[in-house]
Amino acid sequence: MTHPTGNSSARATTDRAPYQWLALVIGVVYLLVGVVGFFVTGFEGFTEHDHDQTLLGFAINPLHNIVHILIGVLGVALWNKRSTARIYGWILAVGYGAASIYGLIVAGDAEGNILNINGADNGLHIASTLAGLAIALWPERDRARTSRT
């Protein structure tokens, strides 16, 4: 089905919900952070706990970088449709909710902290959890009502 103006791609762009754009932005940011993280950590010390390896104050290691890349790729892959953007939101909410709890438990423990999480990471993980909930639960606007006005 095409848009009345004949420009279906213009309609597809305007039909994007705000939570879809949020999913894309979060995905791109996490993807970039994961890639740039390897310039800081290299590929050595895969699960090393060393708060000297930081990116903008966030402690990282190669495993942490891979997690960021995977979360980023998922965001870029799933933002395009409303239903898959919602799934991405739930992935963020559940995954980073668990990471927040894990981080609060192990942030000071050198042996159990395989993702090299510090306090700044914990704050970001909580914010990512909330952003995931926003994506997953963002209310749909009533298209029929807005098209009549």
Domain ranges for the chain: 17-41+52-140
* Residue 10 pLDDT > 60: no
Place of tokens 């762009």: 13
Place of tokens 């050595």: 44
Token duo for residue 132? 């995931």
* Residue 126 pLDDT > 90: yes
* 141 band by pLDDT with thresholds 50, 70 and 90: confident
Asked if 113 and 106 count as a contact pair (C-beta separation under 8 A), the reply is yes
Asked if 74 and 134 count as a contact pair (C-beta separation under 8 A), the reply is no
Average pLDDT (102-118) is 83
122 Cβ contact list (under 8 Å, min separation 6): 100, 103, 104, 107
* Residue 109 pLDDT > 60: yes
Pairing of strands 58-59, 54-55: antiparallel
Asked if 136 and 78 count as a contact pair (C-beta separation under 8 A), the reply is no
pLDDT in tens, 41-58: 999 888 887 767 888 989
Residue, of 148 and 121, whose pLDDT is higher: 121
* Residue 148 pLDDT > 50: no
Residues paired with residue 55 on neighbouring β-strands, in sequence order: 58
- pLDDT given for residue 30 in this prediction: 96
Residue, of 148 and 27, whose pLDDT is higher: 27
pLDDT in tens, 56-82: 989 899 999 999 999 999 999 999 999
Q: What is the pTM of this model?
A: 0.82
